[in-house]
Amino acid sequence: MFLRCGVVQFQHAAGARDANFAVVERFARQAHAQGVKVLAFPEMCLTGYWHARHLDRAGWEALSEPVPEGPATQRLLRLSRELDMILGVGLVEQAEGRLYNSYVLALPDGRWHRHRKLHAFESPHISSGGSFTVFDTPLGVRLGVLICYDTNIVENVRATALLGCDVLLAPHQTGGTASRSPHGMKPIDPALWHARHEDPEALRREFQGDRGRGWLMRWLPSRAHDNGLFLLFANGVGLDDDEVRTGNAMILDPYGRILAETQAIEDDLVVADLDLLPLCTGRRWIRGRRPSSMPR
């Protein structure tokens, strides 16, 4: 049994929800034409991301909306129903006086799910979520969601796998960040982005190097392999306030192998067929765990 999935990288416009949703719709229709059934977009792609760290509470509230009553979720549900696809997008959610970096998934039958980022650090005005998100679908697979830094925490992916996740959606805004670690990721000179049309290969080298793909390869394959799940990595691309996101959208299998990826330095769609019947080592290791023997 195969399931065709897709991931999108695109450069959002800060605070321009309608314009960003237009990009979502364009890629959704493109993916639909290729037979995609599950499509993942990046973290906070409808609202914009890195610029928001400068906003006060009122600024964050202006970006936010309730889920599922808000206009973006309602538009997403209508699009999902029309295209018969599961669609996931990132936005800012307002609920009971709190704000969350959330990811909304619309199902064609009208159902919806939402994941609130567990490790939110973008602003003191943003609250962290308090639960994992794994759910059944009409496609016969269980989907899970972890947003950006959530996926860096090894236990988060293991907990999601233990809840039965087959396919993990991993929406990000990463690459070219100013890591505090001396051997971590480092920024990309924005001048390379501005000169991308004259010298695209200089920017591509950075995207494919340790500030982009090289860093991702240190941990994304292990998250998929050790937990026996597929991983859909969707990311921003291009200048995001004062940082350059590296794209690198990719789909990995439960052995940590890359099924499909892009080297594009602009908006792009990546599509792959997931073989849902692999006997992978990660699943065997999970079944072989002996939690009762762990020290207390």
CATH value at residue 226: 3.60.110.10
Sign of the dihedral defined by the CA atoms of residues 94, 96, 102, 103, in that order: negative
> Tens of pLDDT along 34-53?
999 999 999 999 999 999 99
> Percentage of the chain surpassing pLDDT 70?
98
- 91 domain residue, yes or no: yes
> Percentage of the chain surpassing pLDDT 90?
90
Residue 277: the pLDDT is 75
Tell me the average pLDDT across 127-152.
Answer: 97
- 291 domain residue, yes or no: no
- 47 domain residue, yes or no: yes
Tell me the average pLDDT across 152-172.
Answer: 97
Tell me the average pLDDT across 206-219.
Answer: 96
Whole-Å CA distances, 49 to 56, 79, 96, 153, 189: 14, 23, 22, 21, 19
Residue 178: the pLDDT is 86
Q: How many other CB atoms sit within 10 Å of the CB of residue 277?
A: 7
Beta bridge partners of 114: 104
* CA-closest candidate to residue 203, choices 169, 173, 170, 237: 237
- 150 domain residue, yes or no: yes
Q: What region, left, alpha or beta, does residue 247 occupy, with left being phi > 0 and alpha being psi -120 to 50 degrees?
A: left
Number of domains in the chain: 1
Question: Are 32 and 87 a contacting pair, CB within 8 Å?
Answer: no
- 219 domain residue, yes or no: yes
What would the two tokens of residue 57 be? 């509470």
> Tens of pLDDT along 265-283?
999 999 999 998 765 666 7
- 292 domain residue, yes or no: no
Residue 290: the pLDDT is 72
| AA letter at 24 | V
Q: Domain residues for 16?
A: 2-286
> Tens of pLDDT along 84-128?
999 999 999 999 999 999 999 999 999 999 999 999 999 999 999
Tell me the average pLDDT across 128-132.
Answer: 98
- 295 domain residue, yes or no: no
**Exposure b/e, 105-128, CB count within 10 A at least 16 = b:** bbbbeebbbbbbbbbbebbebbbe
| AA letter at 199 | D
pTM over 0.85? The answer is yes
Residue 282: the pLDDT is 67
- 296 domain residue, yes or no: no
Residue 179: the pLDDT is 82
Beta bridge partners of 106: 87, 112
**Exposure b/e, 26-59, CB count within 10 A at least 16 = b:** ebbeebbeeebbbbbbbbbbbbbbbbbeebeeee
